[in-house]
Chain A
């Protein structure tokens, strides 16, 4: 009987772990970049303007760096959310067009709306390697001092935006 009760206790503990496990995301891997300064780069702007863009240009502001591409199907899922977010003017979004042809990228933004303050073009994907990009889309939250505070791997959902990203932005803007 006592052994039987032990069995039940073990089972209950296992169920407890499963219940906690449901609230966790096994794919969420903490990025080593969090808490570190955003890697420096200088890339041409997608819209063809003469000046290049570097993250230092954003010092003093909290901003989002969103890695996207016209060929990326999941990006389309989050795109309308980004467009809406850009209308609220809560936080500037900068786009990093990843391994994409310039015309394809521009055409896609023309078609689906452009949520970005500006986009830069990373045709070779070099900068994305510095940022530890696994795949598109990915989004970084970068603070006033240029430190990466959060990284979203994969699509931003309404929930992640409301419960994680926007509160963080608010806090960083203090």
Chain B
């Protein structure tokens, strides 16, 4: 009964998506207000039905309904409840439903938060999102239906892949998809603006919070995936340049470029064409990621079971969405006027440079990811492209971007003065150089890479703080507290995100430069010294989990004669799938992680192969990502966006500035 409800809900959602994707767009072209007004209720109705379908699938998993093929393939009656829920998106069909659910949630959010939009714009935005949804819903109903019954029903399920039985599986996919799919809003705004022929500051202003929120989710999603890989795969890496990781990094890089380009378009009216192209690219790359993962054309740790028909469908969809939007772009964008002029030395130039660097970095990742496919398709042999390529090519592109990124906030719009800029940069440059050169000498084994990393992080951090200081000095009047309050949330968001990058760079640099690994054979009571830590192996015992049996090792860690940690790494064997899994044990610390994973038992006497890592500052990698995401959240919650949702006003630039100034005065007064 429930699977049928899910099916019907999907069908009704598809019908509404078709309406939402056609009539409002046609209505906007013809000026038919009735047709345009259909967009909102259709989107709301679609949301309700998709949530109903999604809820049905969750229900089927929770109640162990193995008469449904998808449930039987991805769950098991002994699977703990939280993983039964996460198993909903453990396979191709369910994760597609998650994608679609999130798309309809974003669409629903657009209907809620866009009261101030002109009706043509709203109709077109929702229309474009309806078309995307139509594609995904038809794909699901035709080729990837999660509600298909299994005849006869299975006695029990085949179980969720043990690698996915982890907290990471609960959070990583939904958050990542929020990011991927979130770019569809910026995309829809761009297409709507191209359709309407109005690429103006207002369009950029509407797109900005949506883009920033999507970017925030994507940042968090990637960080979650990376953290999960770190403790899950048992060998302590945090980024593997795997095809699917790259597929998420590319939209992130382009999304970062888009966020900054939108700022220029809104504030200065420049880069409009460029911004539109970035919006199209960011979402196209998200879609391409979906294609790469699900078609099986690249090898990856994330591969879904593949079916050639699915690959063809997604490829066709990708062609229609990306090809169609590119044609529209080529056709409509030359009509869009140029923005304000700017000099060679100005914030515009710097932002443009960084945009280009980010795109080159994307191209580097793109080429490395697809190179094996290109060669294979041209019958030039099979190759695999690994971390050495990405590290040698990606780093030189991203380093100048990091250098420029710190200067961006300090430099004036339109025209900057070189002498003044140099004066501002000088102290940070000196401090950063000193920091870069001293500690490595102090810690021993100096390396150029470590110094460069520390320099970059210090450069970004000191300049970010220096900018805040100069803003406090020059901005507003009265006590420092009021001055701090007079700065906008989007400004603080930017500061926080930039600091996050500095923290991230520190983490990457120090873990790359100073981590230690030991692969050892350990008998009971053997000790191994790593850095200043003494690891004592106390043997392994059998334990029984809900759906697995495990050997659990006991490792005591001492430093200076004091117990620092007791670690319990496991080697599990999942009963339903007979798959072995390594569960690393990690003692997390602000300045270092201690990481132990079990290899294989060596003899019956209780000796084991053990792998021990000392990883300095590794958690700063994810800490940096969290700061970036928080920065995004802060920026997106800036009051100017909230105001705009309430007032249905077309601002021009002077009005807007007047309003911001007035509100700042009001805040300052309120503080007094």
Contact = CB atoms under 8 A, between A and B. Distances in A.
Interface string B366-386: 000010111011000010000
A76 B596 CA distance: 36
B308 A5 contact: no
Given A11-B326, A17-B370, A30-B382, A22 B318 contact: no
Interface in A1-57: 1, 4-5, 7-8, 11-12, 15, 17-22, 24, 26-27, 29-30
Contacts of A59: none
Contacts of B322: 11
A5 B323 CA distance: 11
B330 A27 contact: no
A15 B323 contact: yes
A131 B295 CA distance: 30
- Which of A4, A5, A22 is packed against the most chain B CB atoms within 10 Å? A22
Given A15-B319, A73-B578, A26 B298 contact: yes
B308 A24 contact: no
Contact of A29 (B315, B329, B382): B382
Nearest to B308: A22
A4 B330 contact: yes
A5 B330 contact: yes
Chain A interface size range = 20 to 34
Nearest to A24: B376
- Which of A7, A17, A18 is packed against the most chain B CB atoms within 10 Å? A18
A6 B319 CA distance: 16
A19 B377 CA distance: 9
B49 to A, nearest CB: 32
B334 A21 contact: no
A104 to B, nearest CB: 14
A155 B414 CA distance: 64
A11 B311 CA distance: 18
B440 interface: no
Contact of A18 (B308, B315, B382): B315
Chain B interface size range = 20 to 34
A22 B307 CA distance: 10
B374 A17 contact: yes
B441 interface: no
Contacts of B578: 71, 73
B326 A7 contact: yes
Nearest to A22: B311
A21 B297 contact: yes
Interface in B281-329: 291, 295-299, 308, 311-312, 315, 318-319, 322-323, 326-327, 329
A11 B297 CA distance: 18
A27 B298 CA distance: 8
Interface string B50-81: 00000000000000000000000000000000
A22 B312 contact: yes
B12 to A, nearest CB: 32
B261 interface: no
Contacts of A27: 299
Interface of A: 1, 4-5, 7-8, 11-12, 15, 17-22, 24, 26-27, 29-30, 71, 73
Given A22-B312, A26-B372, 20 more contacts: A4-B330, A7-B326, A7-B329, A8-B330, A15-B318, A15-B323, A17-B374, A18-B291, A18-B315, A18-B373, A19-B315, A20-B377, A21-B295, A21-B377, A26-B297, A26-B298, A26-B373, A26-B376, A30-B382, A73-B578
23 contacts: A1-B334, A4-B329, A7-B326, A7-B330, A8-B327, A15-B315, A17-B377, A18-B291, A18-B295, A18-B318, A19-B315, A21-B295, A21-B298, A21-B376, A21-B377, A22-B295, A22-B308, A22-B315, A24-B373, A26-B297, A26-B299, A26-B372, A71-B578
Rank and list the top 8 A-B pairs by shortest CB-CB distance, nearest first.
A4-B330, A21-B297, A20-B377, A22-B311, A26-B299, A21-B373, A17-B377, A15-B319
